[in-house]
Amino acid sequence: MLDAKLFRGELDSLAKELGRRGYELDTEAVVALETRRRDLQTKTQELQNQRNTRSKEIGAAKAKGEDIEPLLAEVNDMGEDLKRCEQDLAEIQSNLQTIGLSVPNLLDASVPDGKSEDDNVEVKKWGEPKAFDFEPLDHVALTESGALDFEAGSLLTGSRFTVMRNEVARLHRALSQYMLNLHTSQHGYTEMNVPYIVNANSLTGTSQLPKFEEDLFALKGDSNYYLIPTSEVPLTNLVRDKIIDKTDLPIRLTAHTPCFRSEAGSYGKDTRGMIRQHQFEKVELVHVVHPDTSWDALEELAGNAQTVLQNLELPYRMVTLCSGDTGFAAAKTYDIEVWLPGQQMYREISSCSNCTDFQARRMKARFRNDEGKTELVHTLNGSGLAVGRTLVAVLENYQQEDGSVNVPTVLQDFMQTDTILKK
């Protein structure tokens, strides 16, 4: 959510700024609502003031034992007017709130203009795509033995679910353990274990709701519960409605959780293999920081994610998302894309965003500054990494001509072998 004051000032420049994303702000509607809000608020507060004054007079008169009947008669007809004003004001404010919740974050000046992912700008490349002296397979072909069992996934549930078997299941577990260990022991994160089901308030705080409900799995019944689409939601919402002691900043949290996404609107996209699943696992990185340090924090967070890929010796590149591709809550986002030999392309494996005060304002997540005033924190999040896609990357990058797959050095202790999928 943006600062409400922005909707009262230079609306045209705000609309222009939001236009970079392709978002159209209905400035006329905002102006009309704001004007009415101001009038109604003034009137309501005047009436409330009158009521309060009269009531205090009555209280004082009663305390002195005076007759209060004349005073009561005087005050009798005030209620209706006030009630109507309060109701009208509440309705206007609710309308303004609805608009406020649907407006995306302002982009940082460094975000390049563009419409789609084709306009994203590469900022870094690490490692060289390995030259194979044979035709490399994709992860589906590599696991035809049933190590990745897509038929079983659709038998048990439906499309976009996968069963992992034996060595590949263990490799998947090795990856998540390795990532968690790295971030907690080397990068200063606190490991958390959080609910996989959250309420609507949490999802509103990180801004999946109200606009993107169709992307979520909602639980039946009237509980208002949803499966988490990412542990960004529970981790970030830990500071919702909190005034944080500034000595506790920065807060760095990590968690390994499953993520559940309906993938509405991506029908027919990435249907082969386990690139795009309704359920996948992710090790998430979240920072809650002082506003002055969030841009440094974004670089660090992205660096923490890259370290995983570097240690696994997987080639990748990093891009800055363009204005049209940057997510709703983010002021700026880096995508880290890993090289997949089976697809001969870079695919997203981590997305690291600085949400500035956008989520903090929705969550009322604040700290006390040096003047003793409360101030909104900045929040950041990023994948460190998506475990399923990392598994795909390892399988495809470490494959041998005979169809077996070498185990990355850093995982060999855990796996207790240096090769899997031997024939």
Partner RNA sequence: GGAGAGUUGGCAGAGUGGUCGAAUGCGGCGGUCUUGAAAACCGUUGACGGGUUAAACCGUCCGGGGGUUCGAAUCCCUCACUCUCCGCCA
**Is the separation of the CB atoms in 422 and 404 below 8 Å?**
yes
Active site includes 284?
no
Closer of 53 and 409 to RNA (Cβ): 53
Q: Which helix (H) or strand (E) holds 226?
A: strand 225-227
Closest separation between CB of residue 215 and RNA, Å? 25
> 332: alpha, beta or left, given left = phi > 0 and alpha = psi -120 to 50?
beta
Q: Of 294, 323, 350, 351, which residue is the catalytic one?
A: 351
Closest separation between CB of residue 283 and RNA, Å? 23
Closer of 59 and 70 to RNA (Cβ): 59
Q: Of 348, 368, 375, 404, which residue is the catalytic one?
A: 348
Question: CA-to-CA distance for 141 and 53, rounded, in angstroms?
Answer: 80
Closest separation between CB of residue 184 and RNA, Å? 25
Residue 383 tokens read as: 């994948």
Nearest CA among 279, 227, 257, 271 for reference residue 383: 257
Closest separation between CB of residue 109 and RNA, Å? 25
Q: Of 276, 317, 347, 368, which residue is the catalytic one?
A: 276
Nearest CA among 361, 302, 368 for reference residue 106: 361
> 320: alpha, beta or left, given left = phi > 0 and alpha = psi -120 to 50?
beta
Active site includes 389?
yes
Closest separation between CB of residue 5 and RNA, Å? 6
Cα 289 to the center of its chain, rounded Å: 16
Closest separation between CB of residue 52 and RNA, Å? 4
Closer of 28 and 371 to RNA (Cβ): 371
Please, which residues bridge with residue 335 across strands?
Answer: 319, 351
Closer of 203 and 336 to RNA (Cβ): 203
Question: CA-to-CA distance for 288 and 244, rounded, in angstroms?
Answer: 10
Q: Position of tokens 């659709």?
A: 154
Q: Is 404 exposed, middle or buried (0-12, 13-18, 19+ CB in 10 A)?
A: middle
Active site includes 276?
yes
Residue 251 tokens read as: 């807060």
Instruction: Name the site residues for RNA (rule: CB under 7 A).
Output: 4-5, 8, 38, 41-42, 44-46, 48-49, 51-56, 58-60, 62-63, 72, 75-76, 78-79, 243, 366, 372-374
217-221: which pairs have CB atoms within 8 A and are 24 or more residues apart?
217/260, 217/261, 217/262, 217/278
Q: Which helix (H) or strand (E) holds 380?
A: strand 378-386
Compute how many other C-beta atoms are within 10 angstroms of the C-beta atom of residue 67.
9
Amino acid at 137: L
Active site includes 348?
yes
Question: CA-to-CA distance for 209 and 200, rounded, in angstroms?
Answer: 7
Closer of 76 and 423 to RNA (Cβ): 76
Active site includes 159?
no
Residue 406 tokens read as: 């070498």
Closer of 10 and 299 to RNA (Cβ): 10
Closer of 224 and 310 to RNA (Cβ): 224
Residue 133 tokens read as: 């002296």
Closest separation between CB of residue 90 and RNA, Å? 7
- Quote the DSSP letter at residue 281: E
Closer of 158 and 221 to RNA (Cβ): 221
Closest separation between CB of residue 225 and RNA, Å? 10
Residues serving a catalytic function are 261, 276, 348, 351, 389
